[in-house]
Amino acid sequence: MNRRSPRSARPVAWVLLIVLAAPILAACSQAVAPTAVPPPQPTQAPAQPATAPPQPSATPVPKPTDTPKPKSLTIGLHQEPDILNWDYTNEWVAQLVIETINPGLFNWDDKNQIFPELAAEVPSQTNGGISADNKTITLKLRPGLKWHDGTPLTSADLKFTWQAVMNEKNTVASRDGYDQIAGIDTPDDTTAVVHFQDVYAPWASKIFRSIMPAHILGSMDSIDKADWNRAPIGAGPYKFVEWVSGDHITVAANPDYWRGRPKLDRIIWKIYPDVEGLVAAVKTGDVDIGVDFTEAKIPEFEQLAPKVRLVTLPTGWVEHYLFNLGPKTGPPFFQDVNVRKAIALAIDRQTIVDKLLFGKTKVARTFWDNTYWENTAIKALPYDPEQAKKLLDDAGWKVGPDGIRAKGGVKLSFTHTTQSGNQLREDVQLLVQQNLKDAGIEMKIQNVPADTLFAGFTEGGPVASGTYQMAGYTDGAFPDPDNGGSNYWTCGQIPTADKPDGTNWYRVCNPELDKLFEQAVRVVDPAERKKLYDQIQQIMADNVYIIPMYDRLDIYTAADRVVGFQPGWFSSFYWNIYAWDVK
Amino acid sequence: MTTYIVRRLLQAIPLLLIITAVVFVLIQLTGDPLAAYGRGRVRAEDRARLRHQLGLDQPVLPAITLDENRQITVVPGQYLTWLGRVASFDWGESIVTKQPVLEMIGNRLRNTLILMGAAYVITLAASLLLGVYSAARQYSFFDNLLTTASFIGYSFPIFTLALLLLYLFAVNFKAWGLPYFPTGGMYDLEAGPTIPQYLWHLVLPVAALSIIDIAGYTRFLRSSMLEVLSQDYVRTARAKGVMERIILLRHALKNAALPFVTLLGLNLPFALAGAIVTETIFAWPGMGRLFWEHVQKSDYPVVMGILLVVSVAVVLFQIITDVTYTFLDPRIRLT
């Protein structure tokens, strides 16, 4: 017999309820308490040292006294930046945000033309910025530049940036370029004289893409854990305001920007972790600009006109198929240029571009497509299955009873590996598979997730360790043509057990190419340098080292209220962000 | 009771050690944090430098080597190094963001708890209500309706349901000029983080999380209620003329709730997994998303930190479940 009094049943229910509701109650009371205070736990911009009022009177901004609403622009990203220190990231989304807060000395416009941003001029031999031996570059800063906290930005900051990148205590993402510097002199506040160890052509796109403030970071042993990395003080058109992890990053107009106050009062980067979430936000108008979509979304966005404008830019990112050219790692028949050429001729790339990419791009020709360095004399191999078959017949590959060519007991059959779960890549792959089958070539699909595909040599990543036969992914060589040049295509960069971090995943080894690449980084004059890259591309095309598939598109959406959105793909999508406005 | 809880907590320690060791090794086997770090665009020398600076060149597990001079060298390995730091409440820094892991988790845990808590309370309330009601009115129109609805609800994958809700109530409702829900986030930036804003933004993600769970739990509770209602003591109570409401809530539900509580406790890890999808689709800045994003980057300090938090939560919930038993069933004694 249950002898509990009727009242005792209730505490049980209460205990249950309290146990289950405790987390939410605790969480809610926390969330709700600081309503008056700024949003919960964002990384706040450090208070300005002098606590100077944000100078409302200092710059008489033409602002009506009855200020209505701040001019605000929302940009949707489907990936969160990792960190806001240029030298600590390889992520494009992070660089997008950093450039508005903390730009570097130079930038590139939508025509891929370099222009001085914080520098006063682009150094050249004519203006005396580049020494006669090409080894010394004199960088001039614009006079009167100021960090967002009011401290002058000087050549000492440039020197400090170099030292910070080279400091053993700092786990920067890359020392590329900085490790070529022998020393920096700072004769005055606006001049930095950079002495390179050797002639180093790619310098402009490698060093001082963003500058670190010596007065904030200079006294730290290591800047890895500096608050500045997530709440930077820069000298760009917009000042950092807050970063609410996983939600948004806000920046506000910098009235002291050297070009003058930008037109927008603030920009918010809203983070949508899922592309579909971002697409929904584009449709509802929750974001003004949507950044980075896949080609498959093109028809969906085209329907949104005229409220939303679709922007597609063919870029220097080249989707390409790699032959594993290592004599020991790849299939032996890939050593034969005629087999490689036959495979390329058998693939109907134009149809892929027209059907799967909606004709918005073109068949790729070289690894340097759409850049200044592209050898425009090179034409893509046509779709010519007859010639492909003839080449293979001539090379002794005879069609067997199963429809697959063979020679000396070896079947013309190989695997193809790309990123699984990528719809476009898998669709293209199926078309290619059919094309090749028609020519008597068997291509077996063996896809893996992206993090496996790009895993390192020691982790057995198929491309790095050379266990793949044919692979497909996107890469490119810009902003400097050597960014994806000598490190990709030279013999010394082939990954081996002794050099597991080598990045020549093609396993191309051609001494002639090695020599040209080596020369090309030592020629500073662009026209002279381009001749070398023209030769390189010709050799690569003649040998069919890769199959350039198509030029990848940068795909954005912009609401009709956005004015001045003129993205460039080359280096900076935000090159003219100071001029953006909203209607 | 206290001894029992203390003993269970102590037993959890070796369990956690095993879990963390296995997961640590698995993460290291399946991904390379430096691979995700800029693909092939990172130069070999930078990779090698980072590998060394970040300690990734150390063996994962402790290693003892004997060199030719018979000198023994002991390398603690990455796992023990990590464990040592965790023990001293320094969970290390993320490889990609350089932030302290505890701070990163702290920023997100609160948001996940808000979302999960709201979903849990609603799921619990609704499934108790619906489960008891449909058991009491077995084969009524409402019961049949609920059965159909719960089968439909239960067979939805959560991402489909979440996307469906998003497109219907946020995108299409706006297009049709109806009142609509936000597409994502925790609050409108114009309005700021206020309670009404939180509640408004919670509706869709909580619905996505709850609908499927309610469907499952309702079925579960209904069948265990039916089982209890057919027992002799219920018939006795009815014969004695006890009010039907009291029979349902006091006699039957208390007994039927026992397996239900087990289910709730055991389902916590799955609930957190559901949060990964929901947080991702509705841009809710919670811990599930943080976990997923950093798994993709093989950022093991963050992944390990979150797994540790979840493992501890699972262990704690199991103890809480056990303790709740004693309230529900006085025959159970924990010693």
What are the tens digits of pLDDT across the range A197-231? 999 988 998 999 999 999 999 999 999 999 999 99
B189/A268 CB distance under 8 A:
yes
pLDDT of residue B40: 54
* ipTM computed for the complex: 0.84
pLDDT of residue B48: 86
pLDDT of residue B39: 55
Gyration radius from chain B CA atoms: 25
Nearest CA in chain B to A504: B40
**CB pairs A-B closer than 8 Å:** 224
Q: What is the mean pLDDT of residues A490-516?
A: 92
Lowest mean pLDDT segment, chosen from A33-47, A175-189, B145-159, B281-295:
A33-47
Give the distance from residue B234's alpha carbon to the nearest chain A alpha carbon, in angstroms: 13
Distance of CA A426 to the CA centre of its chain: 22
Nearest CA in chain B to A174: B46
A503/B43 CB distance under 8 A:
yes
Residues 446-485 on A with a CB inside 8 Å of B are: 451-452, 454-456, 458-459, 461, 463-464, 475, 483-484
Residue whose C-alpha is closest to residue A251's, from A234, A260, A235, A239:
A239
Are residues A544 and A341 in contact, defined by beta-carbon separation less than 8 angstroms? yes
Residues 81-110 on A with a CB inside 8 Å of B are: 82-83, 88, 90-91
pLDDT tens, position by position, A506-561: 999 999 999 999 999 888 888 899 999 999 999 999 999 999 999 999 999 999 99
Question: Percentage of chain B surpassing pLDDT 90?
Answer: 24
* Residue A259 contacts B, CB cutoff 8 Å: no
pLDDT tens, position by position, B185-214: 898 888 888 899 999 999 999 999 999 889
A277/B293 CB distance under 8 A:
no
Evaluate if residue A55 carries a pLDDT over 60. Answer: no
Evaluate if residue A38 carries a pLDDT over 60. Answer: no
Hey, what are A164's tokens? 């910070």
Measured N-to-C along each axis, helices B253-266 and B300-328 cross at an angle, to the nearest 10 degrees, of 170
Looking at this protein, which amino acid is placed at residue A330?
G
Q: What is the mean pLDDT of residues A453-459?
A: 82
Q: What is the mean pLDDT of residues A26-47?
A: 40
pLDDT of residue B159: 87
Cis peptide before B14 (omega within 30 of 0): no
Please tell me which of the candidates A247, A454, A461 has its beta carbon nearest to residue B285.
A247
Give the span between the Cα atoms of B332 and B335, in whole angstroms. 10
Helix (H, G, I), strand (E, B), or coil: what is residue A406? Answer: strand
DSSP letter, residue A46: P
Q: What is the mean pLDDT of chain A?
A: 86
Q: What is the mean pLDDT of residues B63-67?
A: 79
Beta bridge mates, A468: none
* Residue A501 contacts B, CB cutoff 8 Å: yes
Give the span between the Cα atoms of A56 and A67, in whole angstroms. 13
Give the span between the Cα atoms of B205 and B277, in whole angstroms. 10
pLDDT of residue A346: 97
Evaluate if residue B230 carries a pLDDT over 70. Answer: yes
Q: Render A181-226 in DSSP notation, one character per residue.
A: EEEEEEEETTEEEEEESS--TTHHHHS-SS---HHHHTT-S--TT-
A455/B163 CB distance under 8 A:
no
Residues in chain A closer than 8 A to B36 (CB atoms): 451, 454
Which residue pairs from B83-89 have beta carbons closer than 8 angstroms and sit at least 24 positions apart in sequence?
B83/B17, B83/B20, B86/B308
Dihedral through CA A191, CA A192, CA A198, CA A199, nearest 10? -40
Q: What is the mean pLDDT of chain B?
A: 86
B117/A28 CB distance under 8 A:
yes
Residues in chain B closer than 8 A to A6 (CB atoms): 250
Residues 266-305 on A with a CB inside 8 Å of B are: 268, 270-274, 276-277, 280-281, 283-284, 286
* Residue A41 contacts B, CB cutoff 8 Å: yes
Q: How confident is the model at residue A8 (pLDDT cuts 50, 70, 90)?
A: very low
* Residue A245 contacts B, CB cutoff 8 Å: yes
Nearest CA in chain A to B174: A284
Are residues A111 and A371 in contact, defined by beta-carbon separation less than 8 angstroms? no
Residue B155: burial class (beta carbons within 10 Å; 0-12, 13-18, 19+)? exposed
Residues in chain A: 583
Hey, what are B11's tokens? 């037993």
Please tell me which of the candidates B46, B171, B324 has its beta carbon nearest to residue A174.
B46
* Residue A430 contacts B, CB cutoff 8 Å: no
Which of the pair, A195 or B64, is modelled with greater confidence?
A195
Evaluate if residue A35 carries a pLDDT over 50. Answer: no
Expressed in percent and rounded to 5, the helix, strand and coil fractions of chain B are 70, 5, 25
pLDDT tens, position by position, B71-104: 888 888 889 989 998 888 889 999 889 999 999 9
Hey, what are B110's tokens? 């609160």
Give the span between the Cα atoms of B253 and B247, in whole angstroms. 8
Give the distance from residue A99's alpha carbon to the nearest chain B alpha carbon, in angstroms: 18
Are residues B40 and A488 in contact, defined by beta-carbon separation less than 8 angstroms? yes
Please tell me which of the candidates A20, A90, A246 has its beta carbon nearest to residue B285.
A246
Residues in chain B closer than 8 A to A484 (CB atoms): 41
